[in-house]
Amino acid sequence: MQRIHSLIILSIAAAGTFASCRKADTVMRSKENLLSDIYATNDGNGGQRLFNPRISNDTIYFDIPFFYPEDTDNETDLSRIILRGTIPSDAKLTPALGGFTDLRNPYPITVTSGTGQQRNYVVMAKKVGNTAIEKIVVTYTDVDGEEQQIEGVVQPSGDVFFYVLPGVTLTNAKISYTINRHSTASIAQDGAADFAQPVPFTITGVDGVAKTYTLRAAEPVKLDYGIGINRKLWTKTGSEMGFSSINEVGLAVSGDNIVITRRTNPSKFSVYNRFTAAFVRDIPSPFGSQLSFQMVEDSVGHLLAASWAPKNAKFILYKYNDAMDNAPVKFLEWTNNNPAGISGDGGVGRRMNVYGNLDGNAIIMAPAGVSNIIYKWRVAGGALVSQTPEVMAYQGLANGASSFGYYAEAQPVSADANANYFINYQFDIALVNGTTHERITAFSYDTRVYGVFHMPTSYVHFNNATYLAVLTYKDYSLNKVNMCLFDITSTSKISTPFTDPNYGSFNVFVSDEFAGGDNGNGTADIAVGFSQNKERMQVYSLLTNGGVMAHEFTVYAP
């Protein structure tokens, strides 16, 4: 036994000697030295992405508002700007970013690759005034002596169109407008204007730079189908709307308001005027310490607030008549004790969608996290048919998915008992048969169509067309989105590939990029409202850690 023990010791020692002589693997260094992203923020706003650059060759330009927030007297200090950027993993940036940077003069930075190659950039910044028209209205007197108002539609070209019916003249009209409080206009508030000819309208910012718009009266050409003239209504950053990290996750429309769900503890719902973004009030959560991820609207503006219900917790819904309702009614209380599905999270309430009128007939759908399960409740005659949901097992998981993931949504497309629905999760957007739960058709599996991630979804009818509004994410930091409208009136269009010459008739609108701080959960929301005559549609996009962006679409041709 002693001899065998010695042999074992010698063998181990020999193996250790051999291992100690082996050379370490060579680590290959990268030649990459590209500054792939850069943005600016200011003192007190941490990592929030406030200011985006224009980049020309290796010069990075920042136009930074003279005052920030722009409707305050807080003048921006260019000597205390914070830059943040993204470079390859083994590259080095000098000077380092993240502290206060003095941008009163050109600021050089260098990215050095892992192999030593250098790339030089210069950052330049200037303070700029605000020459935007937030709102402009013409008031005139009609043939009956009644005052009427027409809101202008501002175009990127600088034209502002006031669409008037044939026979209406604007020769003795008054102009009222909303512009930045530090800017001035060439026409006095409620000043007279004669629209027999185009009217120049100049706004001068606090920096002395002016922009001239051309106000025009035009007869509208009403489209028989689809969207016509569109514009960006407004954009508000997360800091302007009091966002905190990862907490603003839900958005709803009711009447003249939007409602933002804040997933704080306790949760709360913040109401803003949806045309001006002015704060209206906060609604306290009815759920106590139980979190809420979402409040959603029905087709007429009733609201449902939902609790977040992990396995074995209560999924509760409260119904509000509108955003001013102070006496909500408990609509549902159900214990989430159903099977979790394929993988095992099973939580309900991250996403929920409604189709129909909660005072009449409607369908409510909510997926269970990390599963293939969707819970459905049916409303008939203004009441739930049952507090216990129908458990629907989706049969069409595609593109390598074993479950929905944590964040998915099911959007019913009618109030029928077996309504078809859209399912939207990381690997797919598909129209689903409401009886068999199999895919009917699906979006082309292509990041050029719906980005690296896509969430949330809104299903909407406007001017004889049907649209799916989706936020698409540009990269895996999930901090940059575009709002896209897809025309799905004909379901045959849904699978249109990006390379198809007719793709533009499917993906009919893509917004400018909207950016915020890193958002690893990919949380966001989208909601739609209409003018009273249904000739204008407003689409609101919320990005967690980013803010809210609002667009308006009309039935009028350019």
Q: What is the pLDDT of residues 271-330, one digit of tens each?
A: 999 998 999 999 999 999 999 999 999 999 999 999 999 988 999 999 999 999 999 999
Asked if residue 436 is part of any domain, the answer here is yes
Instruction: Tell me what percent of the residues of the chain surpass a pLDDT of 90.
Output: 73
Residue 20's pLDDT is what? 46
Residues 396 and 435 in one domain: yes
Q: Which of 85-89, 189-193, 485-489 has the lowest mean pLDDT?
A: 85-89
Asked if residue 105 is part of any domain, the answer here is yes
Give residues with Cβ within 8 angstroms of 227, minimum separation 6: 462, 463, 465, 485, 508, 509, 537, 553, 554, 555
Asked if residue 480 is part of any domain, the answer here is yes
Nearest 10 degrees: Cα torsion 125, 205, 229, 200: -140
Q: Which of 68-77, 294-303, 494-503 has the lowest mean pLDDT?
A: 68-77
Asked if residue 223 is part of any domain, the answer here is no
User: Residue 216 and residue 234: Cα distance in Å, rounded?
Assistant: 22
Domain end among 80, 107, 127: 127
Asked if residue 17 is part of any domain, the answer here is no
Over residues 530-538, the mean pLDDT reads 90
Q: pLDDT for 423-451, tens place per residue?
A: 999 999 999 999 999 999 999 999 999 99
Give residues with Cβ within 8 angstroms of 158, minimum separation 6: 211, 212, 213, 214
Pair type for strands 59-65 and 118-128: parallel
User: Residue 326 and residue 320: Cα distance in Å, rounded?
Assistant: 8
Give residues with Cβ within 8 angstroms of 185, minimum separation 6: 177, 179, 201, 202, 203, 204
Residue 339's pLDDT band (boundaries 50, 70, 90)? low
| Bridge partners, residue 237, by sequence | 547
Given a cut of 90, is residue 476 above it in pLDDT? no
* Cβ contact 558:518 at 8 Å: no
Across the chain, mean pLDDT equals 90
Residues 412 and 508 in one domain: yes
Residues 209 and 339 in one domain: no
Residue 13's pLDDT is what? 40
Over residues 490-514, the mean pLDDT reads 96
Tracing tokens 């028989």 back to the chain, one arrives at 224
Given a cut of 80, is residue 550 above it in pLDDT? yes
User: Residue 430 and residue 491: Cα distance in Å, rounded?
Assistant: 11
The SS3 call for residue 3 is: helix
Residue 8's pLDDT band (boundaries 50, 70, 90)? very low
Q: pLDDT for 91-131, tens place per residue?
A: 999 999 989 999 999 999 999 999 999 999 999 999 999 99
Asked if residue 4 is part of any domain, the answer here is no
Residue 461's pLDDT band (boundaries 50, 70, 90)? very high
Domain at 345, CATH number: 2.120.10.30
Q: pLDDT for 274-286, tens place per residue?
A: 998 999 999 999 9
Given a cut of 60, is residue 342 above it in pLDDT? no
Which of 331, 314, 328, 306 minimizes the C-alpha distance to 386?
Answer: 331
Asked if residue 58 is part of any domain, the answer here is yes
Residues 174 and 299 in one domain: no
Residues 284 and 140 in one domain: no
Residues 464 and 330 in one domain: yes
Residues 121 and 139 in one domain: no
Residue 341's pLDDT band (boundaries 50, 70, 90)? low
Residues 208 and 237 in one domain: no
CA quadruple 213, 217, 221, 226: dihedral sign: positive
Residue 460's pLDDT is what? 97
Residue 344's pLDDT band (boundaries 50, 70, 90)? low
* Cβ contact 413:434 at 8 Å: no
Q: DSSP states of 7-25 as a string?
A: HHHHHHHHHHHHHHHSPPP
| Structure tokens, 411 | 């959007």
CA distances from 74 to 43, 174, 182, 186, 209 (A): 12, 33, 11, 25, 20
Asked if residue 27 is part of any domain, the answer here is no
Residues 202 and 351 in one domain: no
Residue 27's pLDDT is what? 59
Residue 171's pLDDT is what? 82
Residues 99 and 170 in one domain: no
Residue 335's pLDDT is what? 94
User: Residue 14 and residue 17: Cα distance in Å, rounded?
Assistant: 5
Domain ranges, residue 116: 37-127
Over residues 155-164, the mean pLDDT reads 91
Give residues with Cβ within 8 angstroms of 285, minimum separation 6: 266, 267, 268, 269, 292, 305
Residue 451's pLDDT is what? 92
Domain at 193, CATH number: 2.60.40.2340
Q: Which of 161-175, 199-213, 442-456 has the lowest mean pLDDT?
A: 161-175
Given a cut of 90, is residue 132 above it in pLDDT? yes
Given a cut of 80, is residue 458 above it in pLDDT? yes
Residues 454 and 505 in one domain: yes
Given a cut of 90, is residue 89 above it in pLDDT? no
- Which string of b and e fits 93-114 if b means at least 16 CB within 10 Å? beeebeeebebeeebebebbbb
Which of 398, 392, 394, 407 minimizes the C-alpha distance to 428?
Answer: 398
Q: pLDDT for 364-403, tens place per residue?
A: 999 999 999 999 999 999 999 999 999 999 999 999 898 8
Instruction: Tell me what percent of the residues of the chain surpass a pLDDT of 70.
Output: 93
Question: Could you tell me the pTM of the whole model?
Answer: 0.74
3-state SS record for 188-217: CCCEEECCCCCEEEEEECCCCCEEEEEEEE
3-state SS record for 327-359: CCEEEEEEECCCCCCCCCCCCECCCCEEEECCC
Residue 25's pLDDT is what? 52
Domain end among 74, 92, 127: 127
Domain count, the chain: 3
Given a cut of 90, is residue 14 above it in pLDDT? no
Q: What are phi and psi of 230, to 5 degrees?
A: -135, 160
Residues 433 and 536 in one domain: yes
Domain end among 172, 196, 218: 218
Residue 338's pLDDT band (boundaries 50, 70, 90)? low
